[in-house]
Structure 1
């Protein structure tokens, strides 16, 4: 499903006024307060540069919002993450957030269907001095995940995995990355409130791409709620992020 320019311009939360950001907060002023009070003052200069660069791109709404990037950095430090994975990169704001949070010998296996957007942000990542932490793989993630699982040494070897890719494959990703993350490690799924549509009536008027992926997101949310292998916490940060801590 392709997101058109018209779709992007019209993205909105059903029943609420149009917002120019991914946050589900109904108040632009309150979201701006959060950014200016606790996010921007602590944002690394390289993250700011990459954020401003990405904002000029036609698909800027695909980027991880800065408050979510801040959350990811704190989580990574709290769990002392060292070996991580990211599925879905775009220009790399979440990737750079992760790289900055990891120790000097930390590693990120980063996957994206296309290298084009990643290369837009790569000069900023290189300038930040963290490109050596990133192993970027271009192409579909599922075959690579299957390849990783075949090697027993990869199972339970990742401290943290961030998934922000094609929503119709979220359950397929989950069924694979659950084997790759260690017990006590975390998986984070982005966009799990999907523009607020998960709580909208079935007959609500929705943009085509929102409607197309909504059922897949709902299916993931229901599956995670029933998955005894993980503890979960769904947060209304950005477009919704669900944190899963593997317990068995």
Structure 2
């Protein structure tokens, strides 16, 4: 069993988390009113409990994360990311909410097992939680290449990898993801599973690069994170951020590509699993 460690409360960054937070605010207000129909109040309270209770339930009944993953999650959640960016230690704004987390980490780990993957490519590593989770499922001779543009985040990740027996399976490639992908193509590399979780505006390019080259093995899978992007992809266009619009376009491109078939899963902030059919 993993050890529970108190960490700062993260802001909601998933459709379900945002929904639960908004319902909580509504419920607090209506519960102070005496002029509302009893049935309306009861229905709103039940809606809030349904939304707020789902994530904790998934956490409870998903196989616990390893001690190494618990420690890495704690390190990530307590790091002063805003200060690091302000002082120039990180090349871009980073935040604890970028961590994949327990349920998504175990999902990725299960995918590695199911695909019997021996070679994994991660595009966008952050502090290495998802990389380490997947490495735990790789065989002893398995390899995971993780692309990360931020040297400080990579340093945090490498420290965690060094503390795990599975860390030796991970090779960190520091630099812009597209540059790394081009180098891997030139080197003739191929992967059984690719996890995309980097610059949202580059998702389409990552996807097309994988399909247009041999980076994705013929029987390989692509797993893409944040494909619901806080619900922005199905909200009115005027409510989308630049990243929300980029993901909405990516989802349309994937759905229209005859070379693949895909399924979108409502895990955390949305995860799409893609396989090549042509």
Normalising by the residue count of structure 1, what TM-score does the alignment of the two structures yield? 0.84
Query: Per the alignment, in what secondary structure is the counterpart of residue 19 of structure 2?
Result: coil
Task: Report what 2:252 is aligned to.
Answer: 222
Task: Report what 2:243 is aligned to.
Answer: 213
By how many angstroms is 1:69 displaced?
0.7
- Cα 1:126/1:26, change in 2 over 3 Å: farther
Task: Report what 2:45 is aligned to.
Answer: none
Aligned 1:78-93 pairs, distance under 5 A: 78-93=114-129
- Please give the per-residue CA displacement for 1:151-198, whole angstroms capped at 9, x wherever unaligned: 4x33xx210110100000000111112221111110111000000111
Unmatched 5+ residue regions in structure 1? 1-7, 20-24
**Does 1:48 pair with 2:78?**
no
Query: Per the alignment, in what secondary structure is the counterpart of residue 101 of structure 1?
Result: coil
Aligned 1:123-162 pairs, distance under 5 A: 123-151=159-187, 153-154=188-189, 157-162=190-195
Measure the CA separation in 2 of the matches of 1:227 and 1:90: 29
Contact 2:19 2:51 in 1 (8 A): no
Measure the CA separation in 2 of the matches of 1:16 and 1:138: 36
- Please give the per-residue CA displacement for 1:16-48, whole angstroms capped at 9, x wherever unaligned: 3538xxxxx972322111102224xx3212111
Q: Which has the larger radius of gyration?
A: 2
Contact 2:13 2:269 in 1 (8 A): no
Aligned length, in residue pairs: 226
- Please give the per-residue CA displacement for 1:45-69, whole angstroms capped at 9, x wherever unaligned: 2111112222223411000021111
Task: Report what 1:170 is aligned to.
Answer: 203
Question: Bigger shift: 100-109 or 139-148?
Answer: 139-148
- Cα 1:218/1:91, change in 2 over 3 Å: same
- Cα 1:51/1:140, change in 2 over 3 Å: same
Contact 2:225 2:270 in 1 (8 A): yes
Query: Per the alignment, in what secondary structure is the counterpart of residue 102 of structure 1?
Result: coil
Quick one: which of 205, 215, 229 aligns to 1:194? 229
Unmatched 5+ residue regions in structure 2? 1-9, 23-48, 82-94
Contact 2:120 2:193 in 1 (8 A): yes
Measure the CA separation in 2 of the matches of 1:245 and 1:121: 29
**What do you get for the CA RMSD once the two structures are aligned?**
2.2
